[in-house]
Amino acid sequence: MTRSSLEALLAERPVLLADGATGTNLFAMGLEAGDPPEFWNDLHPDRIRALHQGFVDAGADIILTNSFGCNRRRLALHKAEGRTRELAEKAARLAREVADAAGRPVVVAGSVGPTGDLFAPLGPMTEEEAIDVFAEEIEGLKAGGADVAWIETMSAPEEIRAATAAAIRVGLPFTVTASFDTAGRTMMGLPPAALADLAAGLAQAPLAVGANCGVGASDLLASVGAMTEAHPEMAVVAKANCGIPRVDGDKVVYTGTPELMADYARLAIDTGCRIVGGCCGTSSGHLAAMRRAVDEHIRRARPSLDEIVAAVGPLQSPPPSAETRARGGRRRG
């Protein structure tokens, strides 16, 4: 079938459903802690196809490649920096195979995560070096058939600029999401509205901008709400974790139920998001409930923070101004 671009689907539909987690689902399939998931593109391609197929069967319009850490800086930790392009291309080809067999339009989004390095003057990485690092990965993703570079879980403005510049250099459309996990900001201090402002000023506009991962659905909904309010013209992405992580023996489990993720999806639509998906802990079962919610929901008025908290739980890392409401009562002195 003819490959569909993200831009075309956004023009056709009010809301798109992105997939769920990669890493936590691969751990459930047998990936060991400390092992790079990208090696499975070569060692266990059947398991990667099965992951993508589960999300497509659940109704995903967008599937992310297994390439989050597929850059030479991260792969160097496993002495595999020379395999960057190879593994990125294999990741995209596996997702492409599943998408092309779906019988309906499914976008292959090439996952591009951070380098793991701090940027100068705090660390060794420069923007110029980072552009080359990201371009190598994105070239592999493009060669494997990715429709878009899905730049995600970002924190530093310098790294966002570098990753987007790399996508522009390679000639692949892109999206940008950040993780607002530190009192309503990224770890490097970037607030949600500032990410949207940054995206608006890039040499080439992203197809979408938004938030992923973080610390909980309520926190993420507050973040994307700030973006849709500041830039209502932008397509905004919400890709929240499936509840809150809890340690259970030697495993980390996420507390979210399919019902909670369906409620979150409805609230994301009400907040103005055009792309809704799940991040850590989100299985195909959760995604199927989200598909039903997206299909059946009629957008309501923008929810207040109090309404968000009442529906999907308290903020886990609230900004100071929201702390009292997030905790459900008065602040203790």
Q: Which domains does the chain have, with CATH numbers?
A: 6-325 (3.20.20.330)
Using the predicted structure, report yes or no on whether residue 251 has a pLDDT greater than 90: no
Which residue type sits at 318? P
Which pLDDT score is estimated for 322? Answer: 56
Which pLDDT score is estimated for 331? Answer: 32
What are the beta bridge partners of residue 51?
A: none
Query: Of how many residues is the chain composed?
Result: 333
What does the mean pLDDT of the chain come to?
Answer: 94
In this prediction, residues 103-118 reach a mean pLDDT of 97
Q: How confident is the model at residue 325 (pLDDT cuts 50, 70, 90)?
A: very low
Question: What percent of the chain stands above pLDDT 70?
Answer: 95
Pairing of strands 245-248, 275-278: unpaired
Pairing of strands 245-248, 251-254: antiparallel
Tell me if 75 sits within 8 A of 114, measured CB to CB: no
In this prediction, residues 12-41 reach a mean pLDDT of 97
In this prediction, residues 241-245 reach a mean pLDDT of 93
Which pLDDT score is estimated for 14? Answer: 97
Which pLDDT score is estimated for 329? Answer: 41
In this prediction, residues 213-235 reach a mean pLDDT of 97
In this prediction, residues 233-258 reach a mean pLDDT of 92
pLDDT in tens, 260-305: 999 999 999 999 999 999 999 999 999 999 999 999 999 999 999 9
Range in 4-8, 71-75, 287-291, 314-318 with the lowest mean pLDDT: 4-8
Dump the DSSP string for 92-125.
HHHHHHHHHTSSS--EEEEEE---SPPBTTTSSB
What are the beta bridge partners of residue 251?
A: 248
Angle at CA 228, nearest 5°, toward 175 and 311? 105
State pTM to two decimals.
Answer: 0.95
Q: Tell me the C-alpha distance between 126 and 118, whole Å.
A: 9
Q: Tell me the C-alpha distance between 92 and 45, whole Å.
A: 11
Any binding-site annotation on 280?
yes
Q: How confident is the model at residue 333 (pLDDT cuts 50, 70, 90)?
A: very low
Q: Where are the alpha helices (DSSP H) in the chain?
A: 6-12, 23-28, 40-43, 45-58, 72-75, 84-100, 127-144, 157-170, 192-200, 217-230, 258-271, 284-296, 305-312, 323-327
Question: What percent of the chain stands above pLDDT 90?
Answer: 91
Q: Tell me the C-alpha distance between 290 and 277, whole Å.
A: 8
Sort 235 into a burial class: Cβ within 10 Å, 0-12 / 13-18 / 19+.
buried
Longest dimension (CA), the chain: 62
Using the predicted structure, report yes or no on whether residue 239 has a pLDDT greater than 50: yes
Contacts of 314 (CB under 8 A, 6+ apart): 216, 218, 326, 327, 328
Q: Tell me the C-alpha distance between 5 and 35, whole Å.
A: 32
Which residue type sits at 260? L
Which pLDDT score is estimated for 250? Answer: 77
pLDDT in tens, 161-184: 999 999 999 999 999 999 999 999
Q: Tell me the C-alpha distance between 323 and 218, whole Å.
A: 13
Tell me if 5 sits within 8 A of 107, measured CB to CB: yes
Q: How confident is the model at residue 87 (pLDDT cuts 50, 70, 90)?
A: very high
Any binding-site annotation on 242?
no
In this prediction, residues 131-160 reach a mean pLDDT of 98
Q: Kindly report the number of other CB atoms within 10 A of residue 70's CB atom.
A: 33
Using the predicted structure, report yes or no on whether residue 246 has a pLDDT greater than 70: yes
Q: Tell me the C-alpha distance between 163 and 96, whole Å.
A: 22
